[in-house]
Amino acid sequence: MRVNDDKQKNDYSNVWVIAEVLSGKIQPVTHELAGTARMLADKRGSEVWIVLLGNNVSEQAGTLFAYGADKVLVADDGSMANFNDEIETRVLVRMIDKYKPEIVICGATTRGRALIPRVAVVTDSGLTADCTELDIDPENGDLLQTRPAFGGNIMATIRCSDHRPQMSTVRPRVMKAPDPDPGRTGEIITENVTVSDKIDIKRILEVFHSSEAAVNLADAQIIIAGGRAMKGPEGFDILRAFAARVGGAVGASRAAVDAGWIPYAHQVGQTGQTVQTKVYIACGISGQIQHLVGMQSCDLIIAIDKNPDTPMMQMADIAVTGDLFEIVPALTAAIPKL
Protein backbone atom coordinates (compact mmCIF):
# COMPACT_ATOMS: atom_id res chain seq x y z
CA MET A 1 0.00 0.00 0.00
CA ARG A 2 0.99 3.63 -0.30
CA VAL A 3 2.64 4.94 2.86
CA ASN A 4 2.57 8.67 3.46
CA ASP A 5 4.89 9.02 6.44
CA ASP A 6 7.41 7.23 8.65
CA LYS A 7 4.68 6.25 11.09
CA GLN A 8 2.90 4.23 8.42
CA LYS A 9 6.21 2.79 7.24
CA ASN A 10 6.97 1.60 10.75
CA ASP A 11 3.89 -0.62 10.67
CA TYR A 12 5.91 -2.85 8.31
CA SER A 13 8.86 -4.93 9.46
CA ASN A 14 10.96 -8.02 8.61
CA VAL A 15 12.32 -9.42 5.38
CA TRP A 16 10.38 -12.21 3.70
CA VAL A 17 11.60 -14.76 1.19
CA ILE A 18 9.07 -16.71 -0.86
CA ALA A 19 10.42 -20.26 -1.00
CA GLU A 20 10.68 -21.75 -4.49
CA VAL A 21 9.14 -25.21 -4.50
CA LEU A 22 9.39 -27.46 -7.55
CA SER A 23 7.97 -30.98 -7.64
CA GLY A 24 7.50 -30.78 -3.86
CA LYS A 25 11.13 -29.84 -3.13
CA ILE A 26 12.57 -26.54 -1.91
CA GLN A 27 14.92 -25.20 -4.60
CA PRO A 28 18.43 -23.75 -3.97
CA VAL A 29 17.36 -20.21 -4.94
CA THR A 30 15.45 -20.15 -1.63
CA HIS A 31 18.72 -20.61 0.28
CA GLU A 32 20.47 -18.00 -1.88
CA LEU A 33 17.74 -15.44 -1.12
CA ALA A 34 17.67 -16.40 2.56
CA GLY A 35 21.35 -15.42 2.82
CA THR A 36 20.64 -12.02 1.27
CA ALA A 37 17.55 -11.55 3.43
CA ARG A 38 19.67 -12.29 6.51
CA MET A 39 22.14 -9.56 5.52
CA LEU A 40 19.28 -7.05 4.98
CA ALA A 41 17.50 -7.97 8.21
CA ASP A 42 20.71 -7.71 10.25
CA LYS A 43 21.34 -4.20 8.91
CA ARG A 44 17.78 -3.24 9.81
CA GLY A 45 17.64 -5.11 13.13
CA SER A 46 14.67 -7.19 11.98
CA GLU A 47 13.83 -10.84 11.25
CA VAL A 48 13.95 -13.15 8.24
CA TRP A 49 10.73 -15.00 7.50
CA ILE A 50 10.49 -17.63 4.78
CA VAL A 51 7.07 -18.31 3.27
CA LEU A 52 6.58 -21.92 2.22
CA LEU A 53 3.56 -22.56 -0.02
CA GLY A 54 2.78 -25.97 -1.53
CA ASN A 55 1.49 -29.47 -0.93
CA ASN A 56 3.21 -31.77 1.60
CA VAL A 57 5.90 -29.17 2.22
CA SER A 58 5.52 -28.72 6.00
CA GLU A 59 8.13 -31.34 6.79
CA GLN A 60 10.79 -29.31 4.99
CA ALA A 61 10.05 -26.10 6.93
CA GLY A 62 12.60 -26.87 9.66
CA THR A 63 15.44 -27.13 7.14
CA LEU A 64 15.20 -23.40 6.39
CA PHE A 65 16.45 -22.14 9.76
CA ALA A 66 19.97 -23.30 8.91
CA TYR A 67 20.04 -20.77 6.05
CA GLY A 68 19.15 -17.78 8.21
CA ALA A 69 15.36 -17.88 8.74
CA ASP A 70 13.94 -16.80 12.11
CA LYS A 71 10.40 -17.85 11.23
CA VAL A 72 8.88 -20.04 8.55
CA LEU A 73 5.31 -19.30 7.51
CA VAL A 74 3.74 -22.43 6.05
CA ALA A 75 0.55 -22.93 4.04
CA ASP A 76 0.33 -26.58 3.06
CA ASP A 77 -2.63 -27.64 0.97
CA GLY A 78 -3.42 -30.03 -1.88
CA SER A 79 -4.76 -27.12 -3.95
CA MET A 80 -1.17 -25.87 -4.29
CA ALA A 81 0.30 -29.21 -5.41
CA ASN A 82 0.90 -27.90 -8.91
CA PHE A 83 1.84 -24.27 -8.99
CA ASN A 84 -1.36 -22.25 -9.17
CA ASP A 85 -0.68 -18.52 -9.17
CA GLU A 86 -4.28 -17.52 -8.45
CA ILE A 87 -4.51 -19.55 -5.25
CA GLU A 88 -0.99 -18.71 -4.10
CA THR A 89 -1.67 -15.00 -4.71
CA ARG A 90 -4.72 -15.04 -2.43
CA VAL A 91 -2.88 -16.90 0.33
CA LEU A 92 0.17 -14.66 0.11
CA VAL A 93 -1.86 -11.43 0.02
CA ARG A 94 -3.70 -12.52 3.17
CA MET A 95 -0.40 -13.27 4.90
CA ILE A 96 0.99 -9.86 3.87
CA ASP A 97 -2.12 -8.06 5.16
CA LYS A 98 -1.84 -9.92 8.46
CA TYR A 99 1.91 -9.72 9.18
CA LYS A 100 2.96 -6.63 7.17
CA PRO A 101 6.49 -7.44 5.93
CA GLU A 102 8.75 -4.53 5.00
CA ILE A 103 10.38 -6.48 2.15
CA VAL A 104 9.35 -9.50 0.06
CA ILE A 105 11.97 -11.24 -2.11
CA CYS A 106 11.20 -14.01 -4.57
CA GLY A 107 13.16 -15.96 -7.18
CA ALA A 108 12.83 -14.66 -10.74
CA THR A 109 11.80 -18.14 -11.80
CA THR A 110 8.84 -19.07 -13.98
CA ARG A 111 6.76 -19.35 -10.82
CA GLY A 112 8.08 -16.16 -9.21
CA ARG A 113 7.54 -14.17 -12.39
CA ALA A 114 3.89 -15.27 -12.47
CA LEU A 115 3.16 -14.92 -8.77
CA ILE A 116 4.85 -11.76 -7.53
CA PRO A 117 3.48 -9.22 -10.06
CA ARG A 118 -0.05 -10.36 -9.16
CA VAL A 119 0.70 -9.94 -5.46
CA ALA A 120 2.31 -6.54 -6.04
CA VAL A 121 -0.77 -5.28 -7.91
CA VAL A 122 -3.25 -6.52 -5.31
CA THR A 123 -1.24 -5.11 -2.39
CA ASP A 124 -0.35 -1.88 -4.27
CA SER A 125 3.36 -2.45 -3.65
CA GLY A 126 6.53 -1.45 -5.47
CA LEU A 127 8.16 -4.29 -7.44
CA THR A 128 11.58 -4.42 -9.12
CA ALA A 129 12.22 -7.48 -11.28
CA ASP A 130 15.51 -9.29 -11.97
CA CYS A 131 17.66 -7.53 -9.39
CA THR A 132 21.35 -8.38 -9.39
CA GLU A 133 22.14 -6.75 -6.05
CA LEU A 134 20.11 -5.81 -2.98
CA ASP A 135 21.00 -3.54 -0.08
CA ILE A 136 19.05 -1.50 2.44
CA ASP A 137 19.03 2.00 3.84
CA PRO A 138 19.17 1.09 7.54
CA GLU A 139 17.63 4.41 8.58
CA ASN A 140 14.31 4.26 6.73
CA GLY A 141 14.22 0.65 5.47
CA ASP A 142 14.24 1.61 1.79
CA LEU A 143 15.37 -1.39 -0.25
CA LEU A 144 18.16 -0.48 -2.69
CA GLN A 145 17.35 -2.65 -5.70
CA THR A 146 20.05 -2.73 -8.37
CA ARG A 147 19.38 -4.15 -11.83
CA PRO A 148 20.52 -3.58 -15.42
CA ALA A 149 18.56 -0.87 -17.23
CA PHE A 150 18.45 0.60 -20.73
CA GLY A 151 19.36 -2.67 -22.41
CA GLY A 152 21.98 -3.40 -19.79
CA ASN A 153 24.01 -0.31 -20.57
CA ILE A 154 23.69 1.06 -17.05
CA MET A 155 23.05 -0.44 -13.62
CA ALA A 156 20.16 1.38 -11.92
CA THR A 157 19.44 1.38 -8.20
CA ILE A 158 15.73 1.68 -7.57
CA ARG A 159 13.89 2.65 -4.37
CA CYS A 160 10.16 2.26 -3.75
CA SER A 161 10.11 4.75 -0.87
CA ASP A 162 6.36 5.40 -0.89
CA HIS A 163 5.06 1.84 -0.84
CA ARG A 164 5.22 -1.07 1.56
CA PRO A 165 6.01 -3.88 1.27
CA GLN A 166 8.86 -3.48 -1.21
CA MET A 167 9.14 -6.44 -3.56
CA SER A 168 12.02 -7.76 -5.64
CA THR A 169 12.71 -10.76 -7.78
CA VAL A 170 16.23 -12.12 -8.15
CA ARG A 171 17.30 -14.80 -10.60
CA PRO A 172 18.66 -18.13 -9.36
CA ARG A 173 22.48 -18.17 -8.99
CA VAL A 174 22.85 -14.42 -8.72
CA MET A 175 23.27 -14.46 -4.91
CA LYS A 176 25.48 -16.93 -3.08
CA ALA A 177 23.81 -19.30 -0.61
CA PRO A 178 25.29 -19.14 2.91
CA ASP A 179 26.89 -22.22 4.44
CA PRO A 180 24.08 -23.87 6.42
CA ASP A 181 24.30 -23.63 10.21
CA PRO A 182 22.55 -26.74 11.53
CA GLY A 183 22.52 -25.29 15.06
CA ARG A 184 20.10 -22.47 14.17
CA THR A 185 16.46 -22.85 15.19
CA GLY A 186 13.31 -20.78 14.82
CA GLU A 187 9.53 -20.78 14.87
CA ILE A 188 7.15 -22.40 12.39
CA ILE A 189 3.80 -20.64 11.91
CA THR A 190 1.06 -22.50 10.07
CA GLU A 191 -1.57 -20.62 8.08
CA ASN A 192 -4.76 -22.15 6.73
CA VAL A 193 -5.86 -22.14 3.11
CA THR A 194 -9.54 -21.21 3.05
CA VAL A 195 -12.32 -22.39 0.76
CA SER A 196 -12.46 -18.97 -0.89
CA ASP A 197 -8.70 -19.10 -1.56
CA LYS A 198 -9.32 -22.19 -3.66
CA ILE A 199 -11.84 -20.70 -6.09
CA ASP A 200 -10.10 -21.10 -9.39
CA ILE A 201 -11.01 -20.63 -13.00
CA LYS A 202 -8.38 -22.91 -14.44
CA ARG A 203 -7.42 -26.54 -13.94
CA ILE A 204 -3.80 -27.67 -14.25
CA LEU A 205 -3.69 -31.05 -15.96
CA GLU A 206 0.02 -31.75 -15.90
CA VAL A 207 3.30 -30.10 -14.96
CA PHE A 208 6.38 -31.07 -16.94
CA HIS A 209 9.89 -29.74 -17.19
CA SER A 210 11.11 -28.26 -20.45
CA SER A 211 13.61 -30.32 -22.44
CA GLU A 212 15.79 -27.22 -22.36
CA ALA A 213 16.55 -28.13 -18.75
CA ALA A 214 18.63 -30.97 -20.21
CA VAL A 215 21.35 -28.43 -20.97
CA ASN A 216 21.51 -27.91 -17.22
CA LEU A 217 23.77 -24.87 -17.16
CA ALA A 218 22.38 -23.87 -13.78
CA ASP A 219 23.67 -27.02 -12.07
CA ALA A 220 27.03 -27.27 -13.87
CA GLN A 221 30.25 -26.82 -11.88
CA ILE A 222 32.29 -25.96 -14.99
CA ILE A 223 31.05 -24.09 -18.07
CA ILE A 224 33.04 -23.66 -21.26
CA ALA A 225 31.33 -20.91 -23.23
CA GLY A 226 31.90 -19.77 -26.79
CA GLY A 227 31.09 -16.54 -28.56
CA ARG A 228 31.12 -15.02 -32.02
CA ALA A 229 34.72 -16.21 -32.39
CA MET A 230 33.51 -19.82 -32.80
CA LYS A 231 32.73 -18.87 -36.43
CA GLY A 232 29.92 -21.43 -36.89
CA PRO A 233 28.07 -24.39 -35.32
CA GLU A 234 31.00 -26.76 -35.91
CA GLY A 235 33.28 -24.38 -33.98
CA PHE A 236 31.46 -25.48 -30.81
CA ASP A 237 32.71 -29.07 -31.32
CA ILE A 238 36.05 -28.21 -29.70
CA LEU A 239 34.19 -26.77 -26.69
CA ARG A 240 32.01 -29.90 -26.44
CA ALA A 241 35.13 -32.09 -26.50
CA PHE A 242 36.72 -29.97 -23.76
CA ALA A 243 33.50 -30.00 -21.71
CA ALA A 244 33.23 -33.79 -22.03
CA ARG A 245 36.83 -34.18 -20.82
CA VAL A 246 36.31 -32.04 -17.68
CA GLY A 247 32.66 -32.97 -16.98
CA GLY A 248 31.37 -29.51 -17.81
CA ALA A 249 28.56 -27.94 -19.83
CA VAL A 250 28.74 -25.72 -22.91
CA GLY A 251 27.52 -22.12 -22.73
CA ALA A 252 27.33 -19.39 -25.36
CA SER A 253 27.09 -15.67 -25.88
CA ARG A 254 24.00 -14.20 -27.48
CA ALA A 255 26.00 -13.45 -30.61
CA ALA A 256 26.52 -17.18 -31.15
CA VAL A 257 22.90 -18.00 -30.30
CA ASP A 258 21.50 -15.26 -32.56
CA ALA A 259 23.68 -16.58 -35.38
CA GLY A 260 21.89 -19.93 -34.99
CA TRP A 261 25.09 -21.82 -34.09
CA ILE A 262 23.78 -23.20 -30.79
CA PRO A 263 20.29 -23.29 -29.17
CA TYR A 264 19.05 -20.54 -26.87
CA ALA A 265 19.10 -22.88 -23.85
CA HIS A 266 22.91 -22.44 -23.82
CA GLN A 267 22.84 -18.64 -23.69
CA VAL A 268 24.38 -16.98 -20.66
CA GLY A 269 23.56 -13.39 -19.77
CA GLN A 270 20.86 -10.85 -19.21
CA THR A 271 18.44 -12.43 -21.67
CA GLY A 272 19.77 -15.96 -21.11
CA GLN A 273 20.66 -17.89 -17.99
CA THR A 274 22.49 -16.68 -14.90
CA VAL A 275 25.15 -19.13 -13.76
CA GLN A 276 27.34 -19.43 -10.69
CA THR A 277 29.85 -22.17 -11.45
CA LYS A 278 33.14 -23.00 -9.80
CA VAL A 279 34.91 -22.40 -13.14
CA TYR A 280 33.73 -20.37 -16.17
CA ILE A 281 35.91 -20.47 -19.28
CA ALA A 282 34.97 -17.78 -21.81
CA CYS A 283 36.33 -18.55 -25.27
CA GLY A 284 36.19 -15.65 -27.71
CA ILE A 285 33.59 -13.72 -25.73
CA SER A 286 34.39 -10.02 -25.44
CA GLY A 287 32.44 -9.54 -22.19
CA GLN A 288 29.77 -6.97 -22.88
CA ILE A 289 27.78 -6.05 -19.76
CA GLN A 290 24.77 -8.13 -20.90
CA HIS A 291 26.96 -11.24 -20.85
CA LEU A 292 28.86 -10.36 -17.67
CA VAL A 293 25.71 -10.00 -15.55
CA GLY A 294 24.98 -13.66 -16.24
CA MET A 295 28.33 -15.08 -15.08
CA GLN A 296 30.21 -12.55 -12.97
CA SER A 297 29.49 -14.45 -9.72
CA CYS A 298 31.40 -17.55 -10.89
CA ASP A 299 34.23 -18.47 -8.53
CA LEU A 300 37.06 -18.66 -11.11
CA ILE A 301 36.81 -16.94 -14.49
CA ILE A 302 39.22 -17.89 -17.25
CA ALA A 303 39.17 -15.95 -20.54
CA ILE A 304 40.76 -16.93 -23.84
CA ASP A 305 40.84 -14.17 -26.45
CA LYS A 306 43.12 -12.84 -29.15
CA ASN A 307 42.57 -9.36 -27.78
CA PRO A 308 43.99 -8.84 -24.25
CA ASP A 309 42.03 -5.61 -23.72
CA THR A 310 38.42 -6.88 -23.80
CA PRO A 311 36.25 -6.40 -20.68
CA MET A 312 36.21 -10.19 -20.22
CA MET A 313 40.01 -10.43 -20.35
CA GLN A 314 40.29 -7.52 -17.91
CA MET A 315 37.90 -9.01 -15.35
CA ALA A 316 39.09 -12.63 -15.65
CA ASP A 317 41.11 -14.26 -12.87
CA ILE A 318 43.23 -15.90 -15.58
CA ALA A 319 43.47 -14.28 -19.03
CA VAL A 320 45.06 -16.27 -21.84
CA THR A 321 45.91 -14.24 -24.95
CA GLY A 322 45.87 -16.22 -28.19
CA ASP A 323 43.87 -18.12 -30.77
CA LEU A 324 41.24 -20.29 -29.08
CA PHE A 325 41.33 -22.78 -31.97
CA GLU A 326 44.92 -23.61 -30.91
CA ILE A 327 44.57 -23.20 -27.15
CA VAL A 328 41.35 -25.15 -26.48
CA PRO A 329 42.37 -28.37 -28.33
CA ALA A 330 45.81 -28.20 -26.67
CA LEU A 331 44.18 -27.90 -23.24
CA THR A 332 41.82 -30.80 -24.00
CA ALA A 333 44.73 -32.98 -25.09
CA ALA A 334 46.68 -32.09 -21.94
CA ILE A 335 43.89 -33.27 -19.60
CA PRO A 336 44.04 -37.03 -19.05
CA LYS A 337 40.90 -39.03 -20.00
CA LEU A 338 38.96 -40.19 -16.96
DSSP annotation string for 268-289: BSTTSB----SEEEEES----H
**CA dihedral for 321, 322, 325, 327, sign (positive or negative):** negative
Among 152, 155, 180, 296, binds ligand FAD (CB under 6 A): 152
Distance in Å, CB of 132 to ligand FAD, minimum: 13
- Closer to ligand FAD by CB, 169 or 267: give it: 267
Tell me the window of 27-35, 116-124, 190-198, 323-331 that interacts with ligand FAD (CB under 6 A).
323-331
Per-residue interface string for the shown chain with ligand FAD, residues 252-271, x marking contact by CB under 6 A: -xxxx----------xxxxx
Cβ–Cβ under 8 Å, residues 146 and 132: yes
Distance in Å, CB of 250 to ligand FAD, minimum: 14
- Closer to ligand FAD by CB, 60 or 274: give it: 274
Residues 6+ apart with CB under 8 A from 244: none
Helix (H, G, I), strand (E, B) or coil at 217: helix
Please report, as residue ranges, which positions from 281 to 300 form the binding site for ligand FAD (by CB under 6 A).
Answer: 284-286, 288, 290-291, 294
- Closer to ligand FAD by CB, 93 or 259: give it: 259
Distance in Å, CB of 306 to ligand FAD, minimum: 4
Q: What is the CA radius of gyration of the chain?
A: 22
**CA dihedral for 315, 316, 317, 323, sign (positive or negative):** negative
Beta strands in the chain (DSSP E): 15-18, 21-22, 25-26, 48-54, 71-76, 103-107, 126-131, 133-136, 143-149, 154-158, 166-170, 187-190, 222-226, 249-252, 279-283, 300-305, 318-321
Verify binding: residue 305, ligand FAD, rule CB under 6 A: yes
10 Å Cβ neighbour count for 22? 15
Distance separating alpha carbons of residues 141 and 90, to the nearest angstrom: 26
Alpha carbon of 22 to those of 15, 64, 132, 262: distances in Å? 22, 16, 23, 28
Among 43, 94, 228, 240, binds ligand FAD (CB under 6 A): 228
Q: Angle at Cα 174 formed by Cα 172 and Cα 179, nearest 5°? A: 90
Distance in Å, CB of 33 to ligand FAD, minimum: 22
Amino acid at 322: G
Tell me the window of 80-88, 195-203, 216-224, 301-309 that interacts with ligand FAD (CB under 6 A).
301-309
- Closer to ligand FAD by CB, 110 or 307: give it: 307
- Closer to ligand FAD by CB, 22 or 289: give it: 289
Among 27, 113, 296, 325, binds ligand FAD (CB under 6 A): 325
For ligand FAD (CB under 6 A), the number of binding residues is: 30
Distance in Å, CB of 230 to ligand FAD, minimum: 8
Verify binding: residue 310, ligand FAD, rule CB under 6 A: yes
Distance separating alpha carbons of residues 222 and 300, to the nearest angstrom: 10
Distance separating alpha carbons of residues 175 and 302, to the nearest angstrom: 20
- Closer to ligand FAD by CB, 8 or 307: give it: 307
Please report, as residue ranges, which positions from 208 to 227 form the binding site for ligand FAD (by CB under 6 A).
Answer: 227
Residues engaged in binding ligand FAD (CB under 6 A): 151-152, 227-229, 253-256, 267-272, 284-286, 288, 290-291, 294, 304-307, 310, 323-325
